[in-house]
Amino acid sequence: MDKNEVYVEGLVECEVKNSRDVEDLMSLAGKNRTVANNNVNEHSSRSHLVLSCVVEGSNSVTGTKTTGKLNLIDLAGSERLKNTGATGQRLKEAQCINKSLSALGDVINSLGGAAKHVPYRNSKLTFLLQDSLRSNAKVLMFVNINPAPKSAGESICSLNFAARCRAVMLGKAKKNDIT
């Protein structure tokens, strides 16, 4: 393991040869993801899903090898506890989800404000994604919202978060040559 990589206990690493292999792994990850119902959503995600793909390539003419990493992330949505009615285990899950999303917001705010310290270590999620949230990365985000009028408050919060993220300039991504 590279000294700069983050260790994740229970992580499964698989070599894939084609897009079908990736689709199969995503399907397996989806089956292992915890979902439960609450007062707002019948199939509420109780965890984030992170699929990291490391792609290596080589130029047969020059012999140059390059590597890149693609993180596909499906974040569990934030939960307003007064709306979901979460109790017991669901309450603990919601608190953990909200805490990690808040930590991600703190990282985004630090990056947007060009802070000297970026609090990547404040959650497992941001620590895991720190290499994707630095100057040598490109980020594309999709934000899903619920168009129902009763979800307007949550949708506005999600759109405001997306606007904050959009304003952050990470810098220019560079090619990663392997020597």
Digit-coded pLDDT (tens) for 102-119: 899 899 889 888 788 999
Residue 75's alpha-carbon distances to 18, 48, 97, in angstroms, are 25, 5, 9
Rg (CA), the chain: 18
In this prediction, residue 103 carries a pLDDT of: 92
Per-residue pLDDT band at 98 (split at 50, 70, 90): confident
Instruction: Please state which CATH number belongs to domain 19-178.
Output: 3.40.850.10
Closest listed residue to residue 101, CA positions, set 119, 82, 76, 83? 76
What is the distance between the alpha carbons of residues 79 and 33, in angstroms, rounded to a whole number?
Answer: 18
In this prediction, residue 106 carries a pLDDT of: 92
pLDDT in tens, 134-160: 877 888 888 888 888 888 888 888 888
In this prediction, residue 44 carries a pLDDT of: 56
In the chain, where the domains are located: 19-178
